[in-house]
Homo-oligomer: A and B are copies of this chain.
Amino acid sequence: MNRAYIKDLGAHIGEEVLIKGWVDSRRDHGKLIFLDVRDGGGKVQVVILPGDPSATDEAGRAGHQSNAHELRDEWTIELAALVKERPAKMVNENELNGHIELEAKALTVITKAEELPFDNKAELNLETHLDYLPLTLRRERTRDIFKIQACILQAYRNSLISQNFTEFVSPAIVGGDAEGGSAVFALDYFADHKAYLATSPQFYKQIMVGAFERVFTVAKVFRAEKSATSRHISEITQMDFEMGFIQNELEPIAVLEQIMKNVCKSVIDNHGDILERMGIATPKTPNKFPIFTLLEVQEILEKNFNVKCIGEDDMAPEHERMICEWALKEFNSDFVFITKFPTKARAFYTYEDPKEAPLSRGFDLLFRGLEINSGAQRINDYDQLIDKIKSKGLRPELFAYYLQAFKYGMPPHGGSSTGLERFTGRMLGLANIKESTAFPRDMNRIDSLLSRADE
């Protein structure tokens, strides 16, 4: 018999099927044994009826419970079973396979598992969760998080491809720490050379604008910040795009708005069940996302929240939360764009129109109370860029490779960068960024706690 996938069982009522999967849980009720069995696509309830262990059925198979009593969580099994409709009062309409259950016919154990270090359904603190990730990644909540993340990734890329962007692979190893100051990891390269881990694909995507005009990359970036908070990890996934021949920052903003609409639609269409299971509201994406200048935001906050912040260069975290709360109420939007930050508060390559000085063409995108994205129109004039590098006390010769792109004809361009883990976390209301990182690295941990490695 060919294997059936658990998500498809609803189409096989009355038939005998063969499934394979993990014992997700086992409950003994009197003479009955109930299993939840899961495979890559879903979960189903199995009932094992009592039977004479030595008896065999018409196919010569052993009594159904002969080896069922030893089953434990996470064992992998192969199970021949009859697909039956559940009695009406047992139907759970909100669940995959909530209307069926399997009646076991023959059970084969594929692999056993050691006794679990904790009850598989118990809530765990984050450190324990991370210590046992190879096991805890199998929990429904964790699988739900990374199902959503996979969906975000693919929808983000698909949106850009449909908007005529070309993907490229940005490097992780870079030759210098040209910008200085930022927390950069150094590595031993060949022949006593030092190399560094990239903190951003920024320079490479700008270079690529010269080749393809519209480009994107999903790149790893690395931050050696000595901070052990719920927001810090040392290895981050960034989704970056960059586009040429723009008039101003409103064009990358429009591309990003389209991405966010497409991503949210894809999450809602494909994983509404997960949002419901996690108690998360569907993301609100109005036809036109609200766009405010920083000053407008500050005025709104003064007026509506009695907060004094006019004239500040950036937004405090609680102000991000307030403006998002307000935008949700006023515009039914989970997203808010903020523009016109002071140039001095942005990266050196951010464009400033002389008529708009001292304000820049940089922007942020807030989502449910948090900045998940930062973008801008960039400086595209070679001489202006050199002047800006010098004015920041940096050495243009360290940027010589990057600067070639500007020496040989660079159009006005801009783009943006979204943190995948942060976006996933906001989408699902997670308290710690490590929950939305499959294998998080931080100051104290690479898989296992580093302190433990010293013991």
A residues near B (Cβ < 8 Å) are 3, 5, 20-23, 39-41, 74-76, 110-114, 116, 132-135, 137-138, 142-143, 146-147, 149-150, 153-154, 157, 161, 164, 166-176, 185-191, 193, 195, 197, 204, 207-208, 210-214, 220, 222, 224, 226, 234-235, 237, 244-245, 380-382, 400-402, 404-405, 407-412, 420, 437-439, 441, 443-444, 446-448, 450, 453
Contact = CB atoms under 8 A, between A and B. Distances in A.
Contact of A74 (B235, B380, B408): B408
Sort A-B residue pairs by CB-CB distance and give the 10 closest, nearest first: A40-B213, A113-B409, A175-B446, A74-B409, A187-B187, A134-B404, A134-B405, A150-B167, A137-B211, A76-B411
Task: Say whether chain A's binding surface is mostly helix, strand, loop, or mixed.
Answer: mixed
Nearest to A111: B409
Nearest to A38: B213
A187 B185 contact: yes
A235 B173 contact: yes
B187 A197 contact: yes
A21 B212 CA distance: 11
A237 B75 CA distance: 34
Contact of A439 (B143, B166, B204, B443): B204
Contacts of A5: 164
Nearest to A220: B172
Contacts of A407: 113-114
13 contacts: A41-B164, A110-B412, A134-B402, A134-B408, A135-B210, A137-B208, A143-B212, A146-B211, A170-B438, A172-B197, A175-B446, A193-B453, A401-B447
Nearest to A453: B175
A22 B409 contact: yes
Given A137-B210, A187-B185, A175 B113 contact: no
Contacts of A410: 76, 111
Contacts of A244: 40
A211 B149 CA distance: 14
A121 to B, nearest CB: 15
Contacts of A245: 3, 20-21, 39, 76, 110
B76 A169 contact: no
